[in-house]
């Protein structure tokens, strides 16, 4: 499915247009890598390690696609000749982990003359990070950002021809390069970017600064990609964007997310549609109606609430109140009664009082989420919240975090159990990690079920009876 152009002549002029230019560089890199492999008498290997969200995971598939095309072979990180970290900076601890791992790579690079280290992703969009890397991590080979990931092959060639650290970071872009190679992690399901960037500027969040302004892909390009994926064995797609509910607004011919979903629903061979993330402020009645009528959209909605306190929501610049959020949840549950709702919650936002926190506990009790990601507020330099007064002491946050987690988990295990005894369709994803005579499948509502079966079932949709709920997952039997 990768559209490599077999007729590239490296003695021709380098194309200006994308993606042709990158296919030229892929060919060129291929030559270098073949030569190197012959010299050392073995293939060169790579490993892309991903930090952060599904958007980053999808970007990593693009990097892997290019590297495989060039002639690298995939290997585990501890032996790979080319190690790439696709980084995240949404919370401080994501950054700390990257620096820690870079420290461990340094001695390996000294020993292996063919070793290269590449860094990309959201962290690289922060000028302070790149300064620090230049100063204290001079052994890195290639640094690039989120906007020019499509240029990976070109950057590799530049590095191979120059023998110095290559840094290429763009502040923003309006360019979307289509039709480059990518190598999926699963043959039966795939993430698909439908838009890039974010315009919301929630006051705690660094994403709009590192991912740039919102840009939607043309619906035809999305549909073409999905059709190709289906021809290649995919049955489930996850449509990706920081705020999918505002999809299409900036296109020359505007289209809503609900309309896009209806077009995607028509594609033959596609069985399941998921999407993330939805911002509550932009979730339309039209979308709720489409979800209610759809046969393919999965019965799961991730709807980050962040806080239950209207006062804090306002300081977070989320642009909805606690009441509006609860009304939305009611509407969705009316239209799709068996939908599973999940969320993200931040604890310890500047100025959060015990009363505000009680409001968060209250909304958790009212909505009864199937699961919730809970985060301790992390101060991100450059965001409005970083300079707000009243940053909350660590011990207070930790205490609130523990109480919230307890509440979330108790409710989640109760909610999960309601499907016990029913029969549901699952998509088999893998052999079970704990027992090789079992496989693991995913329900429409995103919960996992383990049942007796073997590898051939992977990628198939199968009816499974849910015999026993184990808190956050099920044991079942194939019908
Ligand atoms: N676009 C998505 C979220 C992307 S970031 C949305 O709006 O829902 C994923 C989650 O990380 C957010 O929902 C939020 O809960 C959390 N997060 C973002 N910035 C954070 C910060 N500074 N500290 C702690 N958690 C944060
Ligand atoms: Fe961050 Fe808000 Fe954009 Fe989500 S919607 S990425 S939380 S700014
Ligand atoms: Fe992290 Fe970037 Fe995603 S900051 S959460 S990897 S968009």
CA 94 to ligand 3: nearest atom: 1
pLDDT for 10 equals 87
Q: Is 103 exposed, middle or buried (0-12, 13-18, 19+ CB in 10 A)?
A: exposed
Q: Render pLDDT for 244-295 as a digit per residue (tens, 0 to 9).
A: 999 999 899 999 999 999 999 999 999 999 999 999 999 999 999 999 999 9
Does any ligand 2 atom lie closer than 6 A to the CB of residue 279? yes
The one-character DSSP state at 306 is B
Question: What's the mean pLDDT in 308-314?
Answer: 98
CA 205 to ligand 1: nearest atom: 19
Q: What is the largest CA-CA distance in the chain?
A: 70
Counts for the chain of helices (H) and strands (E), in that order: 13, 19
Q: Render pLDDT for 65-119 as a digit per residue (tens, 0 to 9).
A: 999 999 999 999 999 999 999 999 999 999 999 999 999 999 999 999 999 999 9
pLDDT for 383 equals 97
* Closest residue CA from atom 3 of ligand 3: 53
In this structure, the dihedral spanned by the alpha carbons of residues 181, 183, 189 and 191, taken in order and rounded to 10 degrees, is -60
pLDDT for 66 equals 97
* Closest residue CA from atom 1 of ligand 2: 205
Backbone angles phi, psi at 410, to 5 degrees: -60, -50
Pocket test for ligand 3, best of 55, 58, 124 (most atoms within 8 A of CB): 55
Say how far apart CA 9 and CA 329 lie, in whole Å: 57
Q: Render pLDDT for 373-432 as a digit per residue (tens, 0 to 9).
A: 999 999 999 999 999 999 999 999 999 999 999 999 999 999 999 999 999 999 999 999
pTM: 0.95
Q: Render pLDDT for 216-241 as a digit per residue (tens, 0 to 9).
A: 999 999 999 999 999 999 999 999 99
Pocket test for ligand 3, best of 90, 92, 196, 197 (most atoms within 8 A of CB): 90
Judged by its nearest atom, the ligand closest to the C-alpha of residue 307 is: 1
Judged by its nearest atom, the ligand closest to the C-alpha of residue 196 is: 3
Instruction: Specify the residue for token string 């490993």.
Output: 47
User: Please, what is the Cα angle at 167 between 59 and 96, to 5 degrees?
Assistant: 65
Name the token pair of 421.
């005894």
* Spatial CA neighbour of 451 closest among 470, 464, 434: 464
What is the number of other CB atoms lying within 10 angstroms of the CB of residue 101? 14
Q: Render pLDDT for 185-206 as a digit per residue (tens, 0 to 9).
A: 999 999 999 999 999 999 999 9
Q: Chain centroid to CA 303: how far?
A: 15
Contact 192/226 with Cβ under 8 angstroms?
A: yes
Contact 113/79 with Cβ under 8 angstroms?
A: no
Pocket test for ligand 3, best of 57, 92, 121 (most atoms within 8 A of CB): 121
Q: What is the pLDDT of the chain when averaged over all its residues?
A: 95
Q: How far is the CA of 200 from the centre of ligand 3 (A)?
A: 15
What proportion of the chain, given as a percentage, has pLDDT over 70? 99
Strands (DSSP E) found in 224-293: 236-240, 272-276
Does any ligand 3 atom lie closer than 6 A to the CB of residue 235? no
* Closest residue CA from atom 8 of ligand 1: 304
Say how far apart CA 267 and CA 200 lie, in whole Å: 31
Question: What's the mean pLDDT in 205-209?
Answer: 97
Pocket test for ligand 1, best of 244, 245, 328, 344 (most atoms within 8 A of CB): 344
Say how far apart CA 403 and CA 361 lie, in whole Å: 9
Confidence of residue 4 (pLDDT cuts 50, 70, 90): low
pLDDT at 1 over 50: no
238 DSSP β-pair partners: 191, 274
Q: How far is the CA of 111 from the centre of ligand 3 (A)?
A: 32
What is the number of other CB atoms lying within 10 angstroms of the CB of residue 241? 27
Question: What's the mean pLDDT in 296-309?
Answer: 98
* Closest residue CA from atom 19 of ligand 1: 205
Does any ligand 2 atom lie closer than 6 A to the CB of residue 208? yes
The one-character DSSP state at 13 is P
pLDDT for 5 equals 55
What is the number of other CB atoms lying within 10 angstroms of the CB of residue 126? 21
Does any ligand 2 atom lie closer than 6 A to the CB of residue 216? no
* Spatial CA neighbour of 393 closest among 425, 354, 338, 430: 354
Cβ partners under 8 Å of residue 243, min gap 6 = 195, 198, 199, 200, 214, 277, 278, 279, 282
More confidently predicted of 163 and 4 = 163
Pocket test for ligand 1, best of 303, 307, 347, 375 (most atoms within 8 A of CB): 375
Judged by its nearest atom, the ligand closest to the C-alpha of residue 94 is: 3
Judged by its nearest atom, the ligand closest to the C-alpha of residue 122 is: 3
């Amino acid at each position: 499915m990768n559209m490599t152009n077999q007729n590239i002549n490296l003695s021709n002029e380098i194309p200006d247009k994308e993606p042709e230019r990158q296919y030229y560089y892929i060919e060129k890199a291929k030559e270098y890598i073949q030569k190197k492999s012959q010299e050392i008498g073995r293939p060169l290997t790579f490993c892309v390690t991903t930090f952060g969200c599904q958007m980053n995971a999808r970007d990593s598939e693009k990097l892997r696609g290019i590297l495989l095309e060039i002639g690298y072979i995939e290997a585990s990180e501890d032996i790979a000749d080319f190690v790439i970290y696709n980084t995240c900076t949404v919370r401080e601890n994501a950054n700390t982990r990257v620096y820690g791992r870079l420290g461990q790579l340094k001695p390996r690079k000294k020993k292996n003359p063919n070793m290269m280290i590449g860094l990309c992703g959201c962290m690289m969009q922060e000028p302070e990070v790149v300064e620090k890397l230049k100063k204290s991590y001079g052994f890195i080979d290639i640094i690039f950002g989120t906007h020019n990931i499509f240029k990976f092959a070109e950057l590799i060639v530049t590095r191979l021809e120059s023998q110095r650290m290559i840094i290429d970071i763009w502040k923003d872009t309006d360019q979307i390069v289509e039709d480059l190679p990518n190598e999926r992690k699963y043959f039966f399901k795939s993430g698909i970017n439908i838009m890039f960037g974010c315009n919301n500027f929630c006051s705690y969040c660094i994403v709009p600064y590192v991912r740039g302004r919102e840009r939607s892909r043309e619906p035809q390009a999305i549909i073409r990609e999905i059709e190709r994926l289906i021809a290649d064995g995919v049955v489930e797609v996850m449509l990706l964007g920081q705020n999918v509910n505002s999809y299409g607004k900036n296109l020359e011919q505007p289209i809503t997310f609900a309309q896009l979903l209806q077009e995607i629903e028509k594609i033959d061979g596609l069985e399941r549609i998921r999407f993330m993330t939805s911002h509550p402020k932009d979730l339309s009645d039209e979308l709720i109606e489409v979800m209610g009528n759809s046969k393919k959209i999965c019965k799961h909605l991730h709807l980050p609430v962040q806080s239950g306190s209207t006062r804090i929501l306002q300081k977070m610049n989320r642009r909805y109140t606690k009441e509006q959020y609860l009304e939305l949840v009611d509407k969705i549950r009316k239209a799709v009664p068996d939908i599973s709702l999940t969320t993200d919650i931040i604890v310890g936002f500047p100025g959060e009082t015990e009363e505000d926190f009680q409001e968060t506990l209250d909304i958790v009790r009212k909505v009864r989420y199937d699961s919730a990601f809970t985060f301790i507020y992390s101060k991100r330099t450059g965001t409005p919240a970083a300079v707000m007064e009243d940053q909350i002491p660590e011990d207070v946050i930790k205490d609130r975090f523990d109480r919230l987690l307890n509440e979330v988990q108790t409710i989640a295990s109760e909610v999960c159990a309601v499907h016990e005894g029913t029969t549901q369709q699952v998509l088999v994803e893998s052999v079970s990690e704990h027992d090789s005579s079992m496989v693991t499948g995913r329900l429409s509502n995103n919960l996992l079920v383990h049942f007796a079966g073997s590898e051939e079932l992977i990628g198939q949709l199968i009816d499974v009876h849910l015999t026993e709920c184990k808190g956050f997952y099920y044991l079942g039997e194939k019908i």
